[in-house]
Chains A and B, each alone.
Chain A
Amino acid sequence: MVRFLHTSDWQLGMRRHFLDEGAQERYAQARFDAVRALGRIARDEDCRFMLVCGDAFESNQVDRRTVARALEALRDVPVPVYLLPGNHDPLNEASVYRSATFLERKPPHVHVIENSEPVLVAEGVELAGAPWLSRRPAANPVYEALRAPAPAAGVVRVFAGHGAVDRFTPAGDAPGLIAVADLEGAVAEGRAHFIALGDRHSLTELGAGGRIWYSGTPEATDFDEVRSGRALVVEVGPAGAAAREVAVGGWRFVERARVDLNAADDIAALRLELGGLEQKACTVVRLNLVGTLSLALAAALQHELDAARELFASFEVRDGGLVVTPDDPDFADLGFSGFADATVRRLRERIEGGGEEGRVARDALMLLVRLAKEAV
């Protein structure tokens, strides 16, 4: 029996477009912190080593500082760390693992899996990895690695791989697709006792009696992830394996696919919901607004959204489905007459005409309402 920490897809150096500069820095820092957190977990869980199944770096072309900060974080990890090059950071000529910064600063307990030769990582435990040597290999390196002879009797072999599996990805959509059945076959034949996978950011079990797993990313990266921000503590022996998930990251991605807004109540409800979200500084929000609002309500909504935008790490609003129409009540209190009234009439005619001109006219009309109200 051996216990180790299975993680992957750190994606160090990742930048998200929806984050402003400050949030981006916090987000980046959170990922380095996650490495340290993993180190603490490994220590606390008494793991013999940490296995990173690919994409530790977002790209081979990450900034030198990112590499330096990653190695600094790794230095704090108290157990040996095995890094498997994945499709984002393949071990090619331009590999980050061959960069001067990496080679100079790599602590001795950090190892890069450079080929599929099994290495002894503990008494009676072999680690075999399938590193990516190119961004677009003809076939997933796993297949090459799985051809290795079965381990000696009594030796536990942990297999590390990286790539999409056919169960979640249609064939042809990604290079180096892995068929789950092939992995299960390898496990069944005793050529691997546990297959640790990377690439999928959601923690996922693939079957074979809990012996094939995606660990998912330790810090969430996108809205479509299911169980991200975790890692697996794996215990494996010749007879069986047990994997237990542990929470690591603190960031959340929250998306509301459809928020209906047609009345003042709807706006109030939205305000309440947003107010209820915790850890706003580490929360990325995306709203898809649908409905029809008067100018006054639209202004109120805008007010709410502006307030929320200041709180969340990112606050993205898609309002393509939201229609703002100038209603008669919008103007009733303004007491327009003369040319001001004529201006309103002409703009409304143009709005009805639609198109780009209509959109500009609508903006113009809203501006007029705002300016008129400011005059009160």
Chain B
Amino acid sequence: MRFVRLRVANYRGLAHAEVAFGPAGITLVQGPNEAGKSSLREAVGLLFDYPDNSRHRRIDAVKPVHRDEGPEVELEAESGPYAFTYFKRFTKRPETRLTVRAPRPENLTGREAHDRALAILQETLDYDLWRALIIEQGDAIRQPELGSQRSLSAALDRASGGRPADPREDSLFDKVRAEYLAYFTGERGAERRELADARQALADGEAAAAALRQALGELEADAERAAALGRELAQLERQEAELAREQAAHAADLEEIERLEKACSEAGLRLQTAQKSEQVAGRDLKERGALIEATERAAAELDRLEKADAESRPALTRAEAGLKEAQRAFGEADGRRKEAEAHAARRRDDFDFFNNQLNLDQLRERQGRIDAARASAGQAEAELARNHVTDRALKAIQEAERGLLEASARQRTEAPEVTLRGLAAVQLDVDGREVRLEKGGTRTLAVTETTRLALPGVLEVEIAAGAGAGAMVREVEEARRILAAACAKAGVADPDAARQAFEERREARRVADAVGQVEKDNLRDLTYDELDRKVRGLAAAVAEYRAKRPADPPMSPDLGAAKRERAEAETRLKEATGRWESARAALEAARGVWDELNAEHQARRVQRELFAGERDKANGSLERARAAAADDALAAALEAAERVVADTAAAVRAAETSLQAKNPDKVRALAETAAGSLRTVQQRRAAAQTELTEVRTRLKIRGEEGLHEKLRQAEIDLERRRAETGALLRRAAAARCLFETMREEREQARRAYVAPLKEKIEGLGRLVFDPTFAVEVSEELRIESRTLGGVTVPFDSLSGGTREQLSLVFRAACAMIVAGEGGMPLILDDALGYTDPERLRLMGAVLARAARECQIVIFTCLPDRYAAIGDATVVAI
């Protein structure tokens, strides 16, 4: 929107004033104070807000002071596509006229004109914000305090609340909130105490009324109960009396019954006594009979036993004789058998003796053979130990012998031979050895080396062989030495002796080897020691038997006779033993017969004695009993007792009959029932009486409390409280509903402004400050803080100058966002008094910048202050 021209007439102190605004940008309206600058601004608001006939005090307030004329306002303006002139004269000759030139001509008057003008505003700009700013600007103009951005939200509230600009009034929203806060705490809506108290009071009242109602109910029930108890008591008393009468009647009957029962029981006792006497008499009689019978029985038994004894005695005697005879026969047979046994034993011993002797001879022979063999073997072993000519020794000797013979042969062949022929027997010494040479005898000497022949005392010839002979001699000597060594080693003199010795050694070896076979053949399964012991044992046994054996009977001559005689003796013994067996069986039989008879005899004897004693005792008892009471007396006593019993039993029956006639069970049952009923009735009466007393006590205590009136009053109070509480809660609910709805709508409206406002503020602010400039705009549409170079400072902590500058920026931003195009005119009244010259220059840039988007009108009496605002239309009033 842009103002083109504004004219007022008859307006407050102004008779007439008119301002023609610049075509665009800033219009600087210059004039002294009180020249009507504020009236011009105010007039725009009144023009749109109030119908021409309004009696509103704000209209009254602008009436001219001394003239009876209606104030006039005429505005020529452009808004969106519209260009119009709007005229109003208030109160006196009211008139409204709207002339729209674009987009198409319209001419309207009266209410139509008013409505159309509003419609144009609402169509082309944010109407609420527009009105708020009209209000806001009015404040700003008058307020000496700067930083007036803070009242935009309140102005919006007032604009929306339908109350045109009067900043002293509370906004509608504040009223709604105040109403709400009368019932709830804070905006979160906890109920205030009075609501809770009212609810509690209601509950208390209900509880109190209920308690009283119950008490009254109980009281009334008690009253009814008391009456009922009175009736019940009367009834119970009647019953009690009747039952008492009945009980008395039963008492008489019971007395008679008791008497009869006593008679009955006495008769019964008497009967028992009589029966006992009868039993005693009967028993006495029975015992006497038994006693007599016992006496008789003992006598009879004794008699029988004696008779039997006499009859059995001869048989016993016979059996005794038989036994003796059998004993004698058995003794005889026994002797004979023993004799035959002795004889048979002798003959067996004899036979054994002969056997032993034979055996001994044989064993001795075997032992002799062994001993002989052992002796030969011993000699042979000695020979073997002495004779060393073994096969090998013999072979060596014979080898050496052959060597010597061969050597000798070669010597003889090659060595000079001296033949000595005895012309007479002579004793020669050949090489120191005496050689006898018989006459005619010859002896050849082979001279191997040197041979010395000497005729003792006569001559001595020394024959020496040649040089070859010497080697031969040495060879023979060597062979001879070897032979001699071999013989010496074998312990023989010469090879012949060796051969003899070799034969002897071989014989000795054979003999030594033969002794083993001899032992094996003769020892058989025995060792030599065992054989030797046997031989010694048998020899001793044979010698002993021979020494000890009695002469009679004479010894059998040889083994065969002994064998024969032994067989005979055995036969005789068998015969004797057979006879002994027979005798013994006969003896056993005889003894058996006798034993049996004797045992019978002895038993009978004992029984006899027993019965004799018994008979004597029975006799004694019977005699004593008879002395006390004769048999007849006992029978009579029993008879008498039986008669008494019969009589007494009849008496008992009679008593019982009369008792039964009274029907005691029935009488007793009835009496007990009556007594029980009486007790019950008495108990019930006592209980009823107790309860009645209790009920009466309660009635007395509570009866005069005035419960009825209290209850009624409580109910009345309750009803009243219920109504009051209901109304209170209803008011609270209404307040809450209204507040919450309105708050929601309001916040929604506020939020719509925050973002565009912040954007515009920051855009303009960066001209004054620097590119880091930012602000925080609250939902209450206030600048909460400014941020510059990353430092955030709350609005109220900023310097007065900064606050003023921010406020101006804020207002310019507001003016810019009122409408999408062209904003609304921003009216400033000597603003920026706190701003230093440098900042003033920057603010000039802000205004110049803002002026591109909205019209700016500055009222001032100090035009110099706005030297830096760039292009401006200057108007004077």
Q: How far is the CA of A336 from the CA of B41 in the complex (A)?
A: 23
Decide yes or no whether A204 CB sits under 8 A from chain B: no
Closest Cβ of chain A to B353, distance in Å, is 153
Kindly specify which of B72-80, B564-572, B712-720, B869-877 makes contact with the partner chain: B712-720
Interface positions, chain A 345-376, Cβ under 8 Å from B, are 346-347, 360-361, 363-368, 371-372, 374-376
Q: Mark A2-23, 1 if CB is under 8 A from B, else 0.
A: 0000000000011111011000
Q: A335-B162, A342-B745 given as contacts; is B699 within 8 A of A93 (CB)?
A: yes
* Interface pair B716/A94, CB less than 8 Å apart: no
Taking the closest CB of chain A, its distance from the CB of B723, in whole angstroms, is 10
Residue interface bits B690-701, CB-to-A below 8 A is 1, else 0: 000001100100
Contact A347 B710 (CB under 8 A): no
Q: Could you show 9 A-B contacts with beta carbons less than 8 Å apart?
A: A93-B699, A94-B699, A135-B223, A337-B159, A340-B173, A342-B748, A347-B741, A363-B730, A367-B734
B173 to chain A, nearest CB (A): 8
Q: Within the complex, which residue of A135, A364, A375, A376 is in contact with B224, where a contact is CB–CB below 8 Å?
A: A135
Does residue A292 face the partner (Cβ distance < 8 Å to B)? no
Asked if A334 contacts B162 (CB within 8 A), the reply is yes
B709 interface residue per 8 A CB criterion: yes
Asked if B709 and A372 make an inter-chain contact with CB atoms under 8 angstroms apart, the answer reads no
Do B172 and A13 touch (CB < 8 A)?
Answer: no
Known: A63-B705, A337-B128, A365-B738. 10 other contacts (CB 8 A): A17-B720, A61-B705, A92-B223, A93-B227, A335-B162, A337-B159, A338-B160, A341-B160, A360-B730, A375-B175
| Residues B715 and A17 in contact, CB atoms below 8 Å apart | yes
Most buried by A among B179, B223, B735: B223
Q: Are A338 and B734 in contact (CB under 8 A)?
A: no
Residues of A within 8 A of B227 (CB): 92-93, 133-134
Cβ-defined contact, B709 with A335, below 8 A: no
Contact of A361 with B737 in the complex, beta carbons under 8 Å: yes
Of B214-222, B427-435, B489-497, which binds chain A? B214-222
Q: In the complex the two chains form, what is the Cα distance from A74 to B814 in whole Å?
A: 86
| CB within 8 Å for A61 and B708 given contacts A93-B222, A340-B172 | yes
User: Which of A61, A63, A64, A363 has the most chain B CB within a 10 Å cutoff?
Assistant: A61
Give the B-binding residues of A (Cβ under 8 A): 13-17, 19-20, 24, 58-67, 90, 92-95, 99-101, 133-136, 334-343, 346-347, 360-361, 363-368, 371-372, 374-376
B222 touches A339 (CB 8 A): no
When the two chains form their complex, are residues A335 and B745 in contact, meaning their CB atoms are under 8 A apart? no
A60 touches B738 (CB 8 A): no
Q: Is B733 among interface residues, defined by CB-CB distance under 8 A?
A: yes
Residue of B nearest to A357 (CB): B737
Closest A residue to B224 using CB positions: A134
Max count, chain A CB within 10 A of own CB: residue among B131, B175, B696: B175
Contact of B704 among A90, A100, A346 (CB under 8 A): A100
- B703 lies within 8 A of A15 (CB): no
When distances are taken between beta carbons in the complex, the residues of chain A under 8 Å from B175 are 371, 374-375
Closest to B749 in A: A339
Interchain CA distance A366-B734 in the complex, whole Å: 9
Q: How far is the CA of A371 from the CA of B169 in the complex (A)?
A: 12
Q: How far is the CB of B389 from chain A (nearest CB, A)?
A: 162
Tell whether B226 is near chain A: CB-to-CB under 8 Å: yes
Q: Is the CB of A60 within 8 A of B703?
A: yes
Q: What's the nearest-Cβ distance from chain B to residue A65, in Å?
A: 7
User: Contacts A93-B699, A371-B172 given: A62-B737 contact, CB under 8 Å?
Assistant: no
B128 contacts A338, CB within 8 Å?
yes
A343 lies within 8 A of B709 (CB): no
Interface size class of B (residues with CB under 8 A): 35 or more
Closest residue of A by beta carbon distance from B730: A363
Q: A136-B224, A375-B170 are in contact. Are A360 and B741 (CB under 8 A)?
A: no
Q: A64-B706, A340-B162 are in contact. Are A367 and B179 (CB under 8 A)?
A: yes
Contacts A64-B704, A66-B706, A363-B734 given; does A340 touch B222 at CB 8 Å = no
| Complex-state Cα separation, A347 to B739, whole angstroms | 11
Contact A58 B708 (CB under 8 A): yes
Instruction: State in angstroms the CA–CA spacing of A133 and B223 once bound together.
Output: 10
Minimum CB–CB distance for B629 against chain A, Å: 92
A60 in contact with B695 given A360-B733, A375-B170 (CB within 8 Å):
no
B160, B179, B226, B719, most chain A CB atoms within 10 A: B160
Given known contacts A60-B223, A65-B706, A342-B745, A336 and B160 CB-to-CB distance under 8 angstroms: yes
Docked CA distance A292–B131 (Å): 36
Q: In the assembled complex, how far is the CB of residue A148 from the closest CB belonging to chain B, in whole angstroms?
A: 22
Closest CB in chain A relative to B707 CB, distance in Å: 4
Chain B proximity of A275: nearest CB distance (Å): 25
B160 A364 Cβ-Cβ under 8 A? no
Minimum Cβ distance to chain B for residue A180 (Å): 28
Residues of A close to B746: CB separation below 8 A? 339
Min Cβ gap B752→A in Å is 10
A31 to chain B, nearest CB (A): 13
Give the distance in Å from the alpha carbon of A375 to the alpha carbon of B162 in the complex. Answer: 10
Which B residues lie within 8 Å of A100 (CB)? 704
A residues near B161, Cβ cutoff 8 Å: 336, 340, 372, 375
Contacts of A336 in B (CB 8 A): 160-162
Tell me whether A371 and B179 are in contact in the complex, defined as CB-CB below 8 angstroms, given that A343-B742, A346-B741 are known contacts.
Answer: yes
Give the most central of B219, B709, B733, B745: most A CB within 10 Å.
B709
Cα separation A100 to B701 with both chains bound (whole Å): 11
In the complex, chain B residues whose CB is within 8 Å of the CB of A20: 720
> Considering the chains assembled together, what is the distance between the CA atoms of A269 and B713 in angstroms?
35
Would B163 and A335 count as touching, CB distance under 8 A? yes
In the complex the two chains form, is B712's CB within 8 Å of A15's CB?
A: yes
Q: How far is the CB of B280 from chain A (nearest CB, A)?
A: 80
Instruction: Indicate if the CB atoms of A13 and B160 lie closer than 8 Å.
Output: no
A338 touches B749 (CB 8 A): yes
Report if A59-B745 is in contact (Cβ < 8 Å); known contacts: A372-B162, A375-B161. no
Smallest beta-carbon distance A248→chain B, Å: 23
Option from A19, A61, A339, A375 in Cβ contact (under 8 Å) with B742 = A339
Interface flag for B318 (CB, 8 Å) = no
Interface residue from B160, B216, B712, B733 paired with A363 (Cβ < 8 Å): B733
List of B residues within 8 angstroms of A101 by Cβ: 704
Instruction: List, in ascending order, chain B residues with CB within 8 A of A340's CB.
Output: 160-162, 172-173, 742, 745
Q: Is B208 an interface residue (CB 8 A)?
A: no
Residues of B within 8 A of A134 (CB): 223-224, 227
CA distance A334 to B159 in the complex (A): 11
Complex interface: chain A residues within 8 A of B738 (CB): 343, 347, 364-365, 367-368
A92 to B222, CA, bound (A): 10
Contact for B703 among A61, A366, A367, A375, CB less than 8 A = A61
- Whether the Cβ atoms of A364 and B734 lie closer than 8 Å is yes
Could you tell me the distance in whole angstroms from the C-beta of B384 to the nearest C-beta in chain A? 157
Bound Cα distance from A59 to B720, whole angstroms: 23
Closest to B212 in A: A61
**Which of chain A's residues have a CB closer than 8 A to the CB of B711?**
61
- Contact B704–A13 (Cβ < 8 Å): no
**Least Cβ distance of B249 to chain A in Å?**
37
Q: Quick one: closest A residue to B711, CB to CB?
A: A61
Q: How far is the CA of A221 from the CA of B239 in the complex (A)?
A: 49
Q: State whether B163 touches A60 (Cβ < 8 A).
A: no
Tell me the bound Cα distance from A364 to B179 in angstroms: 11
A338 contacts across to B, CB distance below 8 A: 127-128, 156, 159-160, 749
Query: A58 to B216, alpha carbons, bound, how many Å?
Result: 14
Complex Cα distance, B825 from A279, in Å, reads 68
Chain B: minimal CB distance from A211 (Å)? 32
Smallest Cβ distance from A253 to chain B, in angstroms?
Answer: 16
Residues of B within 8 A of A376 (CB): 163
Complex Cα–Cα for A92 and B223 (A): 6
Residue of A nearest to B746 (CB): A339
B169-213 vs A: 1/0 string, CB under 8 Å?
110110110010000000000000000000000000000000000
Expressed in whole angstroms, the Cα–Cα distance for A338 and B222 within the complex equals 70
In the assembled complex, which residues on chain B have CB atoms less than 8 Å from the CB atom of A339?
160, 173, 742, 745-746, 748-749
